[in-house]
Structure 1
Amino acid sequence: MPQQNWQPGKRVAIAGGGPAAVSTALAFIQRGYHVRIFERQAECRPIGGAVLLNIPVLAILRHYGMEMENVGSFTTTSFQNKKGLERAELPFNEEIERHMGIKGWQYGVLRSSVFQKMLDLLPPGVISNDHEVICYSEVPEQDCVEVRFRNGGSVTADILIGADGIRSNVSRQAFGDPKLFHAGVRVWLAWCDHIPGIPENYGVISHDRQYQASYFPMLHEGKPGFEWWIVESSWEGKPVPIDPQAYLANILKDWTQPLPRLLEATNFDTQVYRWEIINRTSMKKWSTGRIMCIGDAIQPVSPYAAYGLGMAIEDGYFLAKSLDGVNLRDSSAVNAGFEVFEKQRVEYVNHNMEFARFSGHVFHSLPWPVAKLRDWIFDYTPLLGNLLRKDYLKKAEEQTMNMKELHVI
């Protein structure tokens, strides 16, 4: 394994090759550290379909060097019932727009598109494919950690970042059995090309008694299109429909347009991804010794408000920022940096993920009489808008205003 640019005190080993790992690598490289990503598969590739990225995540990607022109466009987010009655609209914050130099709040993107743009920013030689991290050993007398791979190889690093997904080997060794469980929801993620007549810069998150059905404009390889998704209740072992297109068309048959049109314009062989959501309980500690876990390797996972990819990208940025200038052989300095990171991220991430998980329960697990009352309240009172501003936007906006190094004014 090549060891050039692998200087003690600067060596960052990252398990996993997804967005959390690549964001971490980009952030550490910018700060002068030597980074190796170890991915178990033959190539780094994203899983999943469309997601939403908000302003702070876009500002981080811009900071890494990503051009914003072909990422997407600002979108007004409307929360509605299935008949098109608006329940709430996610407000823009003019102060954040001005300071970040980015309009709006949420942007629709395909995971594959934005992840490829991230990969393109990495210098050659950072990624070692076919290297699955299976375990590690901290070596206190040498101020380092030995990382071992399934292929029999090993590497010595100063710190190890576990970004190897929900079934992380690093996280399991560091914190024990995560006791993963089915989160009770299934997501159908899809996208299609642009359809004339559908308003631009406008996205809808809508619900009926059982389902969430939503759509957002996006760019795919520089061309306009739409991402759309359906969330339904699920459980371990729930049968998969033989004909997903007919199954989803039946769900959307009484839904207001344009969702039925989007389904008709979608190639179900290449543009639809089914995701059974597996979860873990919230952790209060993400590090131990020279090991830090981030992204799906440690976070409670919920797609309900499309947080996961953005949270993973943020984790990498904030972790490198917390260790900026630190000699990574200095265990006291490393632990102090880890503490700074955890104070910034753990409570914030857990709050957002738990709110998303709570939302999934409210919309998909309530019995019929309670669900009917829920819908009446959301249709005719400001409760939903108040919850979004208090439990989703408030903390995210506070974090964004504190990221002063990314402000343009």
Structure 2
Amino acid sequence: MNTTPHRGRVAVIGGGPAGMATALSVHQAGHDVVLFERYPRARAAGNILNLWPAPIKALTLLGVDTEDLGAPCHTTFRNARGRVRVDVKLPENVIREYRGGFIGLLRPELYERLLNALPPETLQVNHTVERVEQDREGARLHLSDGRIHECDVVVGADGIDSLVRRTLWGDSPKREHHLHIFGGFTFDDTFAARRGESVISHSSTTQGAWTAIRNKGRDGFQWWVLTAHYADEEFTEDLHTAASELARGFADPLPRMIAATDPANVQRWQLRDRKPLKQWSKGRATLVGDAAHPTSPYAAYGAGMATEDGYFLGRRLAGVDLRDYAEVRRALDEFETPRKPHTARQSQQAYILGQLFHRAPAPLRPVRDMVFDHTPLLQKVVGDSSPAQIVKQLDEIDRAEGRFSIATRNHSG
């Protein structure tokens, strides 16, 4: 006989894509969820963003409005002169469903759409969690205002400097990539003929890339340039000027896109991550997004993997009695087991590619570039393997959705 399931209590720390996706999926799984954000609002920590089809699919299933979200693009990797090195080809059925493979958008619009999908009162802003405690009976979050929030499961979605990660596994050093990136966007109509394209180019020392975007019904383009820069060296140059200098010598339209960009729409950030954890969960707590696997933007998959994490975690908690410690442990282990190889692969590949393209010794750079220009190596490493990973994640979502439907049906009253 069907019975109404017990509604568990889940606390999520961190109001980024990982936290909001987790809250949405946990809510759909039938549990009570609170999302704690220390800032006055859930705020985008950057400007430009790309998503692959798998996170778009997850967002749609989570109830997020994905209609006209971003500009679907076909992606190629090229040398600085424009010679194609890699053609990223997804299956035709995926391209038909998502109108392309690589979705270009601005990060604030993704936040807005996630926020609009959250149930009322889920997000609690201006709430700083200072300490997390747990035992077999439950977990307790100690807030900066002195209150204690009790729950059954804690999810750390609190980024690369995660309190939850540090509580579970101790501190670990950040891995500096000694690279920095400049990114900006423009809605100049001059480049309209290049809509639907994403081009990622490399000179001997610098990556220069651009991709079509769509933001709130408006077509435009985002761009970025990336090169070596030691993390402990102060940077004081004008961002727009520095980006323009780095793009000099790249094929059109990258230099013109940067020239057409309002300097106020240019940002810079230093690349860093942490080595992948062997285990995410301990007791009644687990990690998602950058708290579990901080990833360089070289993967163009950080926000996407964070969104997928939140989706899969909530699906796995469907039908689980969160009062039962053994059930919680089993569910958290089954959540992270298939996620760890995928996310670790993306994180490590992003780090390795960054070092290969930007920190190779000068005598080796001509040999590297000749190999990339005249052999299929880069096509196999990036152009073939990345689409295969995307298709695999789409299939994983289908399987998770099937299990989720059974779990929610069996526990409906």
Name the SS of the counterpart of 1:250 in structure 2.
Answer: helix
The alpha-carbon deviation at position 407 of structure 1 amounts to: 8.9
Q: Do residues 64 (structure 1) and 59 (structure 2) align?
A: no
**Whole-Å Cα distance in 1 between the matches of residues 199 and 383 of structure 2?**
17
Q: Do residues 265 (structure 1) and 263 (structure 2) align?
A: no
Task: Work out whether residues 177 and 355 of structure 2, in 8 Å CA contact, stay in contact via their aligned partners in 1.
Answer: no
One-letter amino acid of the structure 1 residue matched with residue 176 of structure 2: H
**Whole-Å Cα distance in 1 between the matches of residues 226 and 245 of structure 2?**
14
The alpha-carbon deviation at position 342 of structure 1 amounts to: 1.3
Q: Do residues 227 (structure 1) and 225 (structure 2) align?
A: no
Runs of 4+ in 1 over 3 A off after TM superposition: 95-98, 405-408
The alpha-carbon deviation at position 406 of structure 1 amounts to: 8.4
Name the SS of the counterpart of 2:366 in structure 1.
Answer: helix
**Whole-Å Cα distance in 2 between the matches of residues 390 and 91 of structure 1?**
7
Q: Do residues 121 (structure 1) and 117 (structure 2) align?
A: yes
CA RMSD, Structure 1 to Structure 2 (Å): 1.8
Residues 189-239 of structure 1 deviation map (CA, whole Å, 9 limit, x = unaligned): 211114334421011000001111100101122200111111111222223
Which has the higher mean CA deviation after the structures are superposed, 60-69 or 296-305?
60-69
Q: Do residues 392 (structure 1) and 392 (structure 2) align?
A: no
Residues 163-196 of structure 1 deviation map (CA, whole Å, 9 limit, x = unaligned): 1111111111111012123222111121111433
Please name the residue that 2:340 is paired with.
346
- Specify whether residues 241 and 208 from structure 1 end up closer, same or farther in structure 2 by C-alpha distance, changes over 3 A only: farther
**Whole-Å Cα distance in 1 between the matches of residues 6 and 143 of structure 2?**
20
**Whole-Å Cα distance in 1 between the matches of residues 234 and 369 of structure 2?**
28
Task: Work out whether residues 134 and 170 of structure 1, in 8 Å CA contact, stay in contact via their aligned partners in 2.
Answer: no
Q: Do residues 403 (structure 1) and 401 (structure 2) align?
A: no
- Specify whether residues 389 and 87 from structure 1 end up closer, same or farther in structure 2 by C-alpha distance, changes over 3 A only: closer
- Specify whether residues 276 and 251 from structure 1 end up closer, same or farther in structure 2 by C-alpha distance, changes over 3 A only: same
Task: Work out whether residues 300 and 350 of structure 1, in 8 Å CA contact, stay in contact via their aligned partners in 2.
Answer: no
- Specify whether residues 275 and 8 from structure 1 end up closer, same or farther in structure 2 by C-alpha distance, changes over 3 A only: farther
Name the SS of the counterpart of 2:104 in structure 1.
Answer: strand
**Whole-Å Cα distance in 2 between the matches of residues 68 and 181 of structure 1?**
34
Higher helix share: 2
**Whole-Å Cα distance in 2 between the matches of residues 11 and 395 of structure 1?**
33
**Whole-Å Cα distance in 2 between the matches of residues 80 and 97 of structure 1?**
21
**Whole-Å Cα distance in 2 between the matches of residues 65 and 336 of structure 1?**
27
Task: Work out whether residues 58 and 397 of structure 2, in 8 Å CA contact, stay in contact via their aligned partners in 1.
Answer: no
Please name the residue that 1:238 is paired with.
233
Equivalenced residue count is 397
Residues 319-366 of structure 1 deviation map (CA, whole Å, 9 limit, x = unaligned): 111111101111111111111111110111001111111111110110
**Whole-Å Cα distance in 2 between the matches of residues 8 and 407 of structure 1?**
21
Name the SS of the counterpart of 1:120 in structure 2.
Answer: helix
**Whole-Å Cα distance in 2 between the matches of residues 307 and 243 of structure 1?**
28
Correspondent of 1:133 among 109, 129, 135: 129
- Unaligned segments of structure 2, at least 5 residues: 403-413
Q: Do residues 186 (structure 1) and 174 (structure 2) align?
A: no
**Whole-Å Cα distance in 1 between the matches of residues 116 and 180 of structure 2?**
31
Q: Do residues 152 (structure 1) and 150 (structure 2) align?
A: no
- Unaligned segments of structure 1, at least 5 residues: 1-6
**Whole-Å Cα distance in 1 between the matches of residues 325 and 85 of structure 2?**
51
What is the TM-score when the length of structure 2 is the normalising length? 0.92
Name the SS of the counterpart of 2:158 in structure 1.
Answer: coil
Please name the residue that 1:251 is paired with.
246
